[in-house]
Amino acid sequence: MLHENICEKGFLDEQFVQLEELQDDDPNFVEEIATLFYRDSSRLISNIEQALEKSPLDFSKLDNYMHQLKGSTTSIGARRVKNECTQFTDYCNAGNGEGCKRTFQQLKKEHSTLKKKLEAYFQLARQIGPVETACRPK
Amino acid sequence: MMSSSSSGSGKKFSVLVVDDDPVIQRIHRVFLDRFGFETQVVGNGKEAVDLFCSGASFHLVLMDWDMPIMDGPKATRELRRMGVRSMIVGMTSRDRDSEKQEFVRAGSDDCCSKPLTSNTVTSLLQQLHTKYH
């Protein structure tokens, strides 16, 4: 149920709240940001996936892609995805390829889960209007 | 209550957002418009340099670090070499102090973490009012 409050579950942080607060005059603003995020992040995830298939791994390239992805996740407030990005970066810096691959699988799961939750949220928001947001305290 | 970006004579402060991330571009445009800035957005450092070369001017430049074609520090150095005196603020990741140091060496006036917050923009406005009055 949407009213489970996806912020309390840790999927989104206070950055998402800031985005909702900017939405006053443009009811589609947050959904637009989410669409941009998923378009950009999907591209980066695809790049990372291809890079992880190469041998030997280019940790510098992986780190660069992940830095970009982390920037996007920070912008939208995707906390859980961002945490996986941080973990991945740590493994990159340590030259731990297996750790990178393991974390990447978890990252993709979090990315996909958040997408489903946001899609449900925006669908409901379109139906009922801007009455309740995902992260405002009750 | 958000401070106005008006420079006191009725003229708005202008800002150039230099960032290749479409999410940041959109968020910062809306944020800055809400604070009353006249906002323009470009996708990399070379576009920013070309804009200044064409005669455009801005009170403030928000310069991202990592961009294709020309990155933030390089664009900042080039703008300073050209004699641009706009306030240039490097936009860095929260956990990268090395980025801040590089921006300062390149000639930026300040550095902020991405994405912008109300407090950050308020602080920048105060600096702009001091610089341009």
Q: What is the pLDDT of residues B22-80, one digit of tens each?
A: 899 999 998 899 899 999 999 999 999 999 999 999 999 999 998 999 999 999 999 99
Closest-CA residue of B relative to A30 is B27
What residues contact B116, with CB distance under 8 A and at least 6 apart?
B27, B28, B31, B32, B62
Identify all chain A residues contacting B30, using CB atoms and an 8 Å cutoff.
22, 26, 29
CATH topology of domain A2-128: Four Helix Bundle (Hemerythrin (Met), subunit A) (1.20.120)
CB B76 within 8 A of CB B103: yes
CB contact under 8 A, B115 and A15: yes
Of B56, B59, B26, B23, nearest to B41 by C-alpha is B26
Distance, in angstroms, between A71 CA and closest chain B CA? 7
pLDDT in tens, A11-21: 898 888 888 88
Tell me how far apart the alpha carbons of residues A44 and A104 are, in angstroms, rounded to a whole number.
12
Nearest to A22 among B23, B31, B114 (CB): B31
For A68, counting Cβ atoms within 10 Å of its Cβ (0-12 exposed, 13-18 middle, 19+ buried), the class is: buried
3-state secondary structure of B88: strand
For chain A, domain boundaries: 2-128
The region of weakest confidence among A23-27, A28-32, A63-67, B46-50 is: A23-27
pTM score: 0.83
Distance from CA of A4 to the nearest CA of B (A): 26
Q: Do A76 and B23 touch (CB under 8 A)?
A: yes
Confidence of residue B124 (pLDDT cuts 50, 70, 90): very high
Alpha helix stretches (DSSP H) within A22-96 = 29-52, 59-76, 79-93
- For chain B, the structural domain boundaries read 14-131
Contact flag A26-B27 (C-beta cutoff 8 Å)? no
Q: For residue range A87-110, list pLDDT tens digits in order.
A: 999 999 999 999 999 999 999 999
CATH class of segment(s) B14-131: alpha beta
Looking at residue B17, the DSSP 8-state letter turns out to be E
Nearest-neighbour CA in chain A from B115: distance (Å)? 6
ipTM attached to this prediction: 0.76
Q: How confident is the model at residue B1 (pLDDT cuts 50, 70, 90)?
A: very low
Q: Which of B20, B23, B48 is nearest to B116 (CA)?
A: B23
